[in-house]
Structure 1
Amino acid sequence: MKTLIHLPTNLFCHSINQIKMNRVFSLGSEWVYFKIYSGYKIADIILLEYLKEKIELLQSQNHIKKWFFIRYKDSDSHLRVRFQVNGHENFFHVMKEFKPVWEDLLVKNYTWKVQNDTYLREIERYGEKTIEDSETLFYFDSILMLDYLSLKNHFQKEDTQLLFSLIVIDRFLDAFLLSISEKFHLLNEMQQSFKNEFNATKVLKSEFDKHYRSLEKEISNTINQFENPEFASLHEIIDEKSNNIKPIANSIKKNLEINLNSFLSSHIHMIINRQYTSRQREYEILIYDHLFRYYKTCFYREVDFLKDDTIQNLVTLGNK
């Protein structure tokens, strides 16, 4: 005899403890949270060949508002995918739609475990008033990374993925209207923090310097969108994300209750997390180093230009 489980009618009602409700979303709430355990190389196949089409279908049918994923490793590597359903009736629909997907992955040994979990919002990290906007940033970044993964196999050079990272982060900072000076100081903090954490030696710094010099012209050309056929499609998907997040960035700047640099650093960290399947911390220190060097050049070039302009103005005044 089957036992029927009757869920309470007020399951989706706001809790009396509003703060707790905003922070914690258990099974049956507006957030559906899956953990998909797999090898890190298989994770991209799962995202592209099994989740992408299903997610696009659910969105086109208005069953989900937004979604995002992160890569994670505790005891085992896995994808964490979260869906915000559009109304409580869609919770069960989303669960039902993904059931055959998980069964297929298990049969093919692409995953050995799929489980639901409670979503705990990182309010201290992203701010209470800006956590929902942060989730929207995660959403647009997740869309970008799926598009990136679909193009990745066509890359002709190994450094293309690094250049992509630099552009994505630069455009992200542009959305928050950071000046060259602000970008320079932010990336200086970030790269220095990582080098301290990794106990970066003179040898490592020398290797970074050599690698940057080999790419310096290409980094500048790519960030400034000089013509490069290989990057045409990449710039297109990056620009789409940039246009989507500009109003969100404006809202965040108005409501942010935590340090802006700390907030931006956290989001940049998650951008890198979504892009790279493995060795994320190694890529992170390399990306921060190279972006810092690029901004340093731009910053001092701007300072020199202002100095020259000031001197020229003084000379002009003196000749009057």
Structure 2
Amino acid sequence: MDDLLATRLGGWIRALAESQLIDRWFFVRYGDPKWHLRLRLRARSRSLAGRVISRLGRFAESLTDPSSELRIRTLELGTYERELERYGPEAMTATERLFHADSRCVLAILEGLSRRDDTEERLRIAVAGVSALWSALGVEETGRLDLARTLRGSFEKEVAPTASQQRALADRFRGERPRLSKLLDSTDSAAFMTHFADRTSELGPVRRRLARLEERGRVSANREDRAGAYAHMFVNRLLRFEHRRAELIIYYDLERLYESRSAQVRQKGLE
């Protein structure tokens, strides 16, 4: 699936957008019943939907050709059903714009990654990306600490790590802390940080729209709950598998990093 995302899908989607056939899209990974990709495409108008489907068919044919290095087993077309109960009817369009920006960001990152299986590098990217996403959505530093702590606790209950696995979490964090601290402080020159900055720019209108809905009491979930749900979808797009275990690691790291930053702020206040 990663090879499809990194080497073929991005170019095809960009061609659709440049042809003025679509204006938004996003993707989600699913593991039930087997690993597969769901791609949501929004045609610029109803009259263009047929052309988008035709282009999709030709793209799929190129991936079912026996000579193709990347092959798909099945292509299914379906009607997109919006998750209105989860995100709220009035926040749905803003949410889809966020998913579009996030998918563009993740696809650009995947295109730049080497093809080797470097789980640790992806986890670093995920930690930095979640923090950047929460910042882009207007979650303050104290709110990010509370959110990371809540999510870490939730995933800890779900994953139920053993005592030795808990120690491994702490040991891993100690080794990763210097690099992760640089990433959160934006002092790391890694290429993927540019993609996070681009996503933040795209999310400006989304953040303002959601803030207006909050002020009017038109969204049921609060900012932190939405930020947690959006972070979950970012991790889904970026990582290959074992998302629940990975999220425990990510939120553990973020909680520790935010605690350290909070302590530094308090210390400066005492000086």
Same fold (TM over 0.5): yes
Amino acid at match of 1:287: I
CA distance in 2 between partners of 1:78 and 1:227 (Å): 33
Partner of 2:34: 76
Partner of 1:260: 223
| Stretch deviating more after TM superposition (46-55 or 58-67) | 46-55
Offset from partner CA, 1:39-90 (integer Å, 9 cap, x none):
xxxx122223332222111111211110000000221111000011111111
CA distance in 1 between partners of 2:156 and 2:119 (Å): 24
| Stretch deviating more after TM superposition (145-154 or 156-165) | 156-165
| Stretch deviating more after TM superposition (159-168 or 79-88) | 159-168
CA distance in 2 between partners of 1:154 and 1:74 (Å): 25
Amino acid at match of 1:85: A
For the pair 1:67 / 2:47, whether they are aligned, the reply is no
Q: 2:197 aligns with which of 239, 249, 263?
A: 239
Amino acid at match of 2:158: E
Q: 2:75 aligns with which of 114, 117, 140?
A: 114
What's the secondary structure of 1:205's corresponding residue? Answer: helix
Displacement after TM superposition at 1:222 (Å) = 1.8
CA distance in 2 between partners of 1:199 and 1:245 (Å): 35
Q: Which runs of 4+ in 1 moved over 4 A?
A: 154-158
| Stretch deviating more after TM superposition (205-214 or 275-284) | 275-284
Q: State percent identity of aligned pairs.
A: 21
For the pair 1:172 / 2:133, whether they are aligned, the reply is yes
Displacement after TM superposition at 1:176 (Å) = 2.2
The equivalences for 1:246-285 within 5 A come to 246-256=204-214, 257=219, 258-285=221-248
* Contact preservation (8 Å) 1:125, 1:266: no
Larger strand share, 1 or 2? 1
For the pair 1:128 / 2:89, whether they are aligned, the reply is yes
Displacement after TM superposition at 1:211 (Å) = 0.4
When Rg is computed on C-alpha atoms for both structures, the one with the higher figure is 1
Closer/same/farther in 2, CA of residues 201 and 252 from structure 1, 3 Å limit: same
Partner of 1:223: 184
Displacement after TM superposition at 1:268 (Å) = 0.4
Closer/same/farther in 2, CA of residues 178 and 155 from structure 1, 3 Å limit: farther
Closer/same/farther in 2, CA of residues 222 and 129 from structure 1, 3 Å limit: same
* Contact preservation (8 Å) 2:139, 2:224: no
Amino acid at match of 1:74: D
Partner of 2:171: 210
Amino acid at match of 1:267: Y
Partner of 1:193: 154
Offset from partner CA, 1:218-269 (integer Å, 9 cap, x none):
11112212244xx0x2111111111111221121122141222221111100
Q: Mind listing any 5+ residue stretches in structure 1 that lack a counterpart?
A: 1-42, 310-320
Offset from partner CA, 1:101-146 (integer Å, 9 cap, x none):
1112122372111001222211121121111111111101111111
CA distance in 1 between partners of 2:73 and 2:87 (Å): 32
CA distance in 1 between partners of 2:72 and 2:155 (Å): 33
Displacement after TM superposition at 1:195 (Å) = 0.2
Amino acid at match of 2:195: I
Partner of 2:52: 94
Amino acid at match of 1:136: R
Q: Mind listing any 5+ residue stretches in structure 2 that lack a counterpart?
A: none
What's the secondary structure of 1:111's corresponding residue? Answer: coil
- Residues paired across the two proteins, number: 263
CA distance in 2 between partners of 1:198 and 1:95 (Å): 40
Partner of 1:305: 268
